[in-house]
Structure 1
């Protein structure tokens, strides 16, 4: 699995959906921009009438607290020149731009102490208080007025990979983005409460937010969730093949032959990141790890599979596009097969990556049996690249991999995004039985057979140095840092 999801009962989810109301607050909406000039480039708003629904000891839902960009977008970019130096974060608003001190950024791009939130009960007692780390990229951006753009261009969510290179987060002009998770969990009793929140003084000073735009106070109701709350209980997962650049979601009929010469124009560029997330499994004899291959090119990697008659195999073709996203050609590059294991049950492309354990002198000792892949955009690796797709399709396996009855499948790795797999299943993790203690390397190789067409193959391999220790059944692993990036 690539993602973690918060599990709630259908009744609670339905109640949360029903509780959402358009946000209202003090700052000027995009629709009123011609009437009153906003006093700050950024403002905090609340949603009077916001509701949380209590199940067990906790209340769940959207607090209705949003940061609004006025006059222009609020954009924050974080970029590292190499893993040997700290990343640099800059901001841009309608009022200006500047650098964000490292003390105000947690990790790679989480805003530290961006807001202070206190919830008071009906007697005025503070019953909940937090200063959450904030990712401005939201799955629920809301237009604050009719003149705001039709959609926000910014990514959904912030990157988590320790080897992230560049990130972009932002609030579009005229939009309000939540400063807490949509499914926030708070330990509150049922009843009437008041939310008191502010953009902290450090961030308000940096962004030029006036005091009246930095603070908000509004009522909040907490109700006990019941089965009748909400508009329904069904949740649907989108399925089927996904296309880049808003193109049709169904591949074209199977092309004849192997395709022609590769046309001039943009190409994908696959790069490997060093392995991470290493641990010795419960048996004490297998080394588990995670590995990422990402697309640093100026075009998406698009692979279409077309089913062979009567077989659980597909012929795979790579497609090429010009700078405007128009298809210019294709080439046959191998095959896809139906992976019927219970944890998969979808179509895998062969020869996308290879994972190996190497000796100190880099001779192969063990090769992971993971050699087929469903391509999915699981990680934002560098969204500061020119042409990076900030809102890629196919971000989870349900939308990218196809069902058993599929006649064709499209799998895409968008520019700026990576695909991460964790090697923890039998045959994928490295078997340490019989291996002597000492130094080794984990090699991550993209496009190992050279079947995929890319602009460069110089960065297809990434190495991570490790040391094995312990004894049979209780092996240990120590991982070398990569520049400033330490830990496993």
Structure 2
């Protein structure tokens, strides 16, 4: 049966899978009580009015399409912190290290006591494992749905519940990360309530049916956090409505996501979920064999540099020399290339290709902001890097070119001077280069939310990425501090293996390859990932050794040191910033 989702449900199911919400009793923190490892009676912390409470409307709607016995429920359920805020921090020292989560109360902007969450309850960077349970029954009491979910309090759809907290929600809108995420921050602000993303796909129901849904923080977590039984559970009456009457025909739901992001945050967390070992989403990835693809209309012309033209003294002003800024250290970004992952092979356009995910991020302390100013009557923009100090623009410098990319799944502007992807020999000799030669920079992955000047809510800082349409005369792309951008390299953006003999190679990712961007240092601009290519034409294979003891290709540390992979698409689905799905 085909499952059809609303625009919001697509965001929920794809972008925020596993992201839920919870809080911590102020009594436990202020008393300094150690978190209980045991979920048995007696492990309860005293609850007060400062603690969190689950809340929401008593009557809500689900949606089904005519003729289908399937409904989607995404009702408003919140965890409120009316008196004291709660900040969750998860961090790890290396790729393979066990994440450590702490919870701190925040009152009037002042941080209180900090408690460490037991390791057994930490689901990687995603939140607290099995902390939420959603159960749905029909009008006759028959159980239709009963699942536990990872909990994570975030700023997505945050609602103000009291006047005593900050005027705007401060925490990130989702939880999760990628293999190389160092730290994440999430929480519920004082005087605010965070949405519990406890969505549910329910089979066996149709338009007009009446259901009862119970959403509860699981007992072990509630006891740990000092949430009493009468405040950890929410029961809602559900009526199944006609989805076509609400949203119209769902054909539009399958449209391509927009490259860039809006204040809605819809693209920022598009596929954000940590699948590191020990997470709820971890496990072996099925091998579907060599993937056959039809050719992409990504033409060779796209990878050529734009025609030469005189630069501008003031962006958008033709004919003068550029003003080169001498930016101070705190205004500069620090661009970092992480190793490739989700590596596989595919057969496309009669060629064997090596697919992979590439990721570059900004370690700060300043944001990377690049703006394009269109040359008159040309599909070319001059690109400038802008520098900010204390939130104010303090300078700019000419840094490259942007070009309009007219191709299915794109039809927007790309920056041509950001990164380079190469397959090299163990000695570093070039074998082949990726067809990916241009970028629309968007913060897709939080990498380190504790680094100096890290931006927790990039969609709200006023420096949004927007890749522009055909008629655009100006646009801005950015990587805020602490964030990276992940690209899925397949089809012509992958490595062409034609004529490449079997053997050991390295995927070399270089950010800022020409040095055109001003940054703190270039010492971390290159990453290398070992791969072993085998098989025969039409059925090439790749083995990917672990990195720092972590097998990024299966999500399971118990697998062998080298894992044979023959397809990239199955593994890339949980980490890609994809626009059908390549940028």
Give the structure-1-normalised TM-score.
Answer: 0.83
The alpha-carbon distance between structure 1 residues 290 and 342, as it changes in their structure 2 partners (threshold 3 A), is: same
**8 Å Cα contact 2:339/2:358 also seen in 1:** yes
**CA offsets 1:62-95 (integer angstroms, 9 cap, x no match):** 2333222242222211111122422221112357
**8 Å Cα contact 1:59/1:222 also seen in 2:** no
Q: Which residue of 1 aligns with 2:77?
A: 65
**8 Å Cα contact 2:423/2:431 also seen in 1:** yes
Q: Which residue of 1 aligns with 2:233?
A: 215
Q: Which residue of 2 aligns with 1:44?
A: 54
**CA offsets 1:286-345 (integer angstroms, 9 cap, x no match):** 1011101101011111111111122111111111111x1111111111111111222321
Deviation at 1:179, TM superposition (A): 2.4
Deviation at 1:127, TM superposition (A): 2.8
The alpha-carbon distance between structure 1 residues 454 and 478, as it changes in their structure 2 partners (threshold 3 A), is: same
State the number of aligned residues: 448
Q: What is the SS of the residue equivalent to 2:120?
A: helix
Residue 272 of structure 2 is aligned to residue 262 of structure 1: no
Deviation at 1:119, TM superposition (A): 2.0
Spell out the pairing of 1:326-405 with structure 2 (5 A cutoff): 326-393=392-459, 400-405=466-471
Q: Which residue of 1 aligns with 2:480?
A: 414
Higher mean C-alpha deviation, range 202-211 or range 471-480: 202-211
**CA offsets 1:332-371 (integer angstroms, 9 cap, x no match):** 1111111122232111111200001011222111111212
**8 Å Cα contact 2:50/2:84 also seen in 1:** no
Residue 183 of structure 2 is aligned to residue 186 of structure 1: no
Q: Which residue of 2 aligns with 1:79?
A: 91
Q: Structure 2: any 5+ residue segments left out of the alignment?
A: 11-46, 107-111, 264-313, 554-583
The counterpart of 1:8, out of the listed 5, 9, 18, is 5
Residue 327 of structure 2 is aligned to residue 309 of structure 1: no
Q: Which residue of 2 aligns with 1:106?
A: 123
**CA offsets 1:359-398 (integer angstroms, 9 cap, x no match):** 1222111111212111111111111223111111399xx9
Residue 145 of structure 2 is aligned to residue 128 of structure 1: yes
Tell me the distance in 2 between the aligned counterparts of 1:231 and 1:343: 24
Q: Structure 1: any 5+ residue segments left out of the alignment?
A: 1-5, 14-36, 244-251
Residue 463 of structure 2 is aligned to residue 453 of structure 1: no
Tell me the distance in 1 between the aligned counterparts of 2:478 and 2:8: 35
Spell out the pairing of 1:437-476 with structure 2 (5 A cutoff): 437-476=502-541
**CA offsets 1:155-176 (integer angstroms, 9 cap, x no match):** 1222342221111111222322
Q: CA RMSD in A?
A: 3.2
Q: Which residue of 1 aligns with 2:215?
A: 197
Residue 169 of structure 2 is aligned to residue 172 of structure 1: no
**8 Å Cα contact 2:345/2:542 also seen in 1:** yes
**8 Å Cα contact 2:132/2:216 also seen in 1:** yes
Deviation at 1:118, TM superposition (A): 1.8
**CA offsets 1:386-427 (integer angstroms, 9 cap, x no match):** 3111111399xx95211111111111111111111111022x
Deviation at 1:109, TM superposition (A): 2.5
Q: What is the SS of the residue equivalent to 1:262?
A: coil
**8 Å Cα contact 2:63/2:240 also seen in 1:** yes
Higher mean C-alpha deviation, range 465-474 or range 478-487: 478-487
Give the structure-2-normalised TM-score.
Answer: 0.70
**8 Å Cα contact 1:159/1:381 also seen in 2:** no
Q: Which residue of 2 aligns with 1:30?
A: none
**8 Å Cα contact 1:240/1:409 also seen in 2:** no
The alpha-carbon distance between structure 1 residues 11 and 321, as it changes in their structure 2 partners (threshold 3 A), is: closer
The alpha-carbon distance between structure 1 residues 336 and 467, as it changes in their structure 2 partners (threshold 3 A), is: same
Higher mean C-alpha deviation, range 186-195 or range 473-482: 186-195
Tell me the distance in 1 between the aligned counterparts of 2:162 and 2:73: 23
Q: What is the SS of the residue equivalent to 1:357?
A: strand
Tell me the distance in 1 between the aligned counterparts of 2:155 and 2:442: 20
Q: What is the SS of the residue equivalent to 2:151?
A: coil
**8 Å Cα contact 2:383/2:402 also seen in 1:** yes
Q: What is the SS of the residue equivalent to 1:106?
A: coil
